[in-house]
């Protein structure tokens, strides 16, 4: 069988493949269309950042698996690949240490002025006093995003005797305690840290999350490192803040990984060409994992790290969407800044047999990451990484809930905060039947929804609808039941467009609502 490797990758991948009887064509930098046309019998492909589109996939009719030698797979059309029964895999963790070490290097280079001092000395000057720096040892370091990279960074920083604050609303208190770090809000991190490193994915939720309010809180001389994604930082805000504060900005990520002018050139003290994963060891680790995964998948059906697994026979894919939606609602209701401790799930009716395939969708909804919606292994790894317990409850079929799902999200070891959401399918549509104590909603969560929960009193619902309408938002449907005690109400509004967080907070504050959030399904 033939394997295409159109990228610069350690030869360990081709060595593994050839030792197992595969033919390998490796051409770094090759035109993908021409390469595919010339090798249409390929059964597997290993890539790094190359863009694998539907056009490329259609040129390879015998293709069975694509492996991304790295963690991110946003450059691969995974849905189209699945429609062609092609598995897409990644190699999570292979590059993590390389990125963590790069961040420490940037921190040291930034605080000790290595780059400008080097340029000055090479020019014949001796400006020792000018480049007086500061030390990393004993300082406070903030890490935003505590996945594999963030956790490795924390381990490496321990040698510098640093105090480490982390922001990651999906990491439990237990997990933070295990690593000897302190959970904090974004605001606390920007107020207190001498060094900050960003390690969050680029999502709608994180877009320009590092905004003017946060950046204005930084200490003069603080070092900010972005080795995650360019989208999460508001460059215009940083540009404005740097006028008044000496902030050292070290950057390794851009909107487009390519030659050309970079929008952050005027504000970055150090710029690298996305070198985070560019180490011999990381390249070798990713290549070894990729080569073994191709062999394991094609010869033994090992599907660990497949990110676009198909739905098993007998399971309607819409139940996965239901599971995702329930997780998403539970997460938003409890609060995206809250650190969940445990997930409890009940699968009623025939869904009990598909627990393995539905749990990942619940986890995906809670984590706001559809990338793991059908991958049991990735879901389990995510829960372990974040220190979140999972309990699948036995169901009482005498309740006659039919094929339905209940998701409970719990914060705190003593069940300090808890929300429960239940839903089912009816006539091919997702139906949310209960949110918290508000039963018999029978709401179809399509499009945009905004939710407010409040102490029941006359006139609040009218005020909510008026406040939403005042923002130019049309309301298509409303559900507003009381809880079982009759002292609280919920307003679930289907609206015609997205409702910004600022608007939700404005309405929530004006009307003294206990809960307020927007979600899209």
Give mean pLDDT, residues 371-399.
Answer: 83
Q: pLDDT digits over 28-42, tens only?
A: 989 999 999 999 999
Q: Are residues 292 and 240 in the same domain?
A: no
User: Are 344 and 218 in a shared domain?
Assistant: no
**Which pLDDT value is given to residue 307?**
84
Task: Flag the least confident range among 13-17, 177-181, 366-370, 475-479.
Answer: 366-370
Per-residue pLDDT for 122 more than 90? yes
Distance (Å, rounded) from C-alpha 388 to C-alpha 256?
Answer: 34
At which residue do the structure tokens 């002018």 appear? 261
Q: 498: closest CA among 233, 202, 204?
A: 204
Statement to judge: residues 158 and 68 lie in one domain:
no
User: For the chain, how many structural domains are there in total?
Assistant: 3
**Across residues 101-122, what is the average pLDDT?**
97
Q: What is the pLDDT of residues 19-74, one digit of tens each?
A: 999 999 999 989 999 999 999 999 999 999 899 999 999 999 999 999 999 887 87
Please give the average per-residue pLDDT across 210-228, as a whole number: 96
115 shares a domain with 83: no
361 inside domain: yes
The 10 Å Cβ neighbour count of residue 480 is 17
Q: What is the CATH number of the domain that holds 117?
A: 3.40.50.720
Question: Tokens 């998948």, residue?
Answer: 297
Instruction: Check residue 153 and give its pLDDT.
Output: 98
pLDDT digits (tens, 9 = 90+) for 344-363: 999 999 999 999 889 989 99
What is the arithmetic mean of pLDDT over 440-445? 92
Q: Look at residue 196 and tell me if it is in a domain.
A: yes
Mutual angle of helices 96-111 and 114-122, in 10-degree steps = 60
Say what the pTM is: 0.80
Name the residue range of residue 335's domain.
Answer: 317-520
> What local confidence, expressed as pLDDT, does residue 374 receive?
61
Confidence band for 257, pLDDT divided at 50, 70 and 90: confident
Q: CATH code at 374? A: 3.30.70.260
| Percent residues over pLDDT 90 in the chain | 74
Please indicate, yes or no, if residue 45 is contained in any of the structural domains: yes
238 located within any domain: yes
345 and 291 belong to one structural domain: no
Expressed in percent and rounded to 5, the helix, strand and coil fractions of the chain are: 35, 25, 40
Token match 């599971």: residue?
A: 323
Give the pLDDT confidence score for residue 279 in this predicted structure.
94
Rounded to the nearest integer, the mean pLDDT of the chain is 92
Among 234, 250, 271, which residue terminates a domain? 271
The answer as to whether 307 is a domain residue is no
- What pLDDT is stored for residue 165 in this prediction? 98
248 and 114 inside one domain:
yes
3-state secondary structure of 440: strand
DSSP letters of 448-461?
EEEEEEEE--TTHH
Establish if 309 belongs to a structural domain: no
Within a domain: 426: yes
> Do 413 and 264 sit in the same domain of this protein?
no
DSSP string, 18-70: HHTT-EEEE-TT--HHHHHHHTTTEEEEEESS--B-HHHHHT-TT--EEEESS
CB 422, CB 405: distance < 8 Å: yes
Whether 156 and 100 have beta carbons less than 8 Å apart is answered as yes
The residue-averaged pLDDT of 289-306 equals 91
Distance CA(396)–CA(199), nearest Å, equals 42
Distance CA 119, CA 124 (A): 9
When pLDDT is cut at 50, 70 and 90, the band that residue 372 belongs to is low
Query: What was the pLDDT predicted at 380?
Result: 87
In sequence order, the 6+-apart residues with CB closer than 8 A to the CB of 33 are 55, 56, 59
Do 331 and 183 fall within a single domain?
no
Domain identity same for 218 and 363: no
CB 264 within 8 A of CB 254: yes
In a domain, 88, yes or no: yes
Is residue 100 domain-shared with residue 85, that is, in the same domain?
A: no
Domain identity same for 415 and 498: yes
Name the strand (E) or helix (H) holding 266.
none
Same domain flag for 251 and 379: no
What's the angle, vertex CA 44, arms to CA 39 and CA 46, rounded to 5? 100
Q: What whole-number distance in Å separates Cα of residue 322 and Cα of residue 429?
A: 9
> How confident is the model over 443-457, as pLDDT tens digits?
999 889 999 999 999
């Amino acid at each position: 069988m033939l394997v295409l490797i159109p990228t610069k990758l350690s030869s360990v991948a081709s060595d593994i493949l050839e030792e197992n009887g595969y033919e390998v064509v490796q051409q770094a930098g090759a035109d993908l269309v021409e390469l595919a046309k010339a090798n249409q019998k390929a059964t597997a492909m290993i890539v790094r950042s190359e863009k694998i589109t539907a056009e490329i996939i259609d040129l390879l009719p015998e293709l069975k698996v694509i492996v991304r030698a790295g963690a991110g797979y946003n450059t691969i059309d995974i849905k189209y690949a699945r429609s062609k029964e092609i598995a897409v895999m990644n190699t999570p963790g292979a590059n993590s240490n390389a990125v963590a070490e790069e961040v420490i290097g940037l921190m040291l280079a930034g605080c000790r002025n290595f780059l400008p001092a080097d340029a000055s000395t090479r020019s014949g000057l001796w400006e020792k006093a000018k480049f007086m720096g500061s030390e990393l040892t004993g300082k406070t370091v903030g890490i935003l995003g505590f996945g594999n990279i963030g956790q490795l960074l924390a381990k490496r920083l321990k040698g510098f005797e640093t105090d480490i604050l982390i922001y990651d609303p999906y990491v439990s208190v237990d997990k933070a305690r295990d690593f000897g770090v302190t959970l904090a809000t974004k605001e606390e991190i920007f107020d207190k840290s001498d060094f900050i490193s960003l390690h969050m994915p680029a999502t709608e939720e994180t877009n320009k999350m590092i905004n003017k309010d946060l950046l204005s809180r930084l200490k003069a001389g603080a070092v900010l490192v972005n080795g995650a994604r360019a989208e999460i930082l508001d460059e215009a805000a940083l540009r404005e803040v740097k006028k008044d504060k000496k902030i050292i900005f070290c950057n390794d990520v851009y909107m487009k990984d390519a030659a050309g002018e970079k929008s952050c050139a005027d504000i970055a003290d150090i710029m690298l060409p996305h070198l985070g994963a560019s180490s011999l060891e990381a390249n070798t680790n990713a290549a070894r994992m990729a080569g073994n995964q191709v062999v394991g998948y094609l010869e033994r059906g090992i599907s660990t790290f497949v990110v676009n697994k198909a739905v098993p026979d007998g399971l309607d894919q819409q139940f996965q969407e239901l599971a995702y939606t329930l997780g998403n609602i539970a997460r938003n209701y409890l609060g995206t800044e809250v650190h969940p401790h445990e997930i409890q799930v009940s699968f009623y009716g025939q869904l009990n047999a598909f627990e393995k395939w539905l749990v990942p969708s619940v986890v995906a909804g809670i984590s706001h990451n559809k990338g793991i919606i059908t991958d049991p292994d990735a879901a389990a790894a995510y829960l372990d990484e974040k220190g979140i317990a999972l309990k699948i409850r036995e169901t009482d079929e005498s309740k006659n809930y039919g094929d339905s799902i209940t998701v409970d999200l719990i914060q705190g070891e003593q069940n300090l905060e808890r929300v429960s959401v239940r839903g089912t399918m009816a006539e091919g549509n997702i139906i949310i039947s209960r949110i918290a104590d508000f039963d018999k909603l029978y709401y179809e969560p399509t499009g945009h929804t905004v939710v407010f929960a409040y102490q029941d009193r006359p006139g609040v619902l009218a005020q909510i609808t008026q406040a939403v309408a005042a923002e130019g938002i049309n309301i298509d449907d409303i559900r507003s039941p009381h809880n079982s005690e009759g002292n609280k109400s919920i307003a679930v509004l289907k609206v015609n467009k997205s409702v910004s967080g600022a608007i939700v907070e404005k309405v929530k504050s004006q009307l003294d609502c206990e809960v307020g959030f927007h979600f899209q399904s």
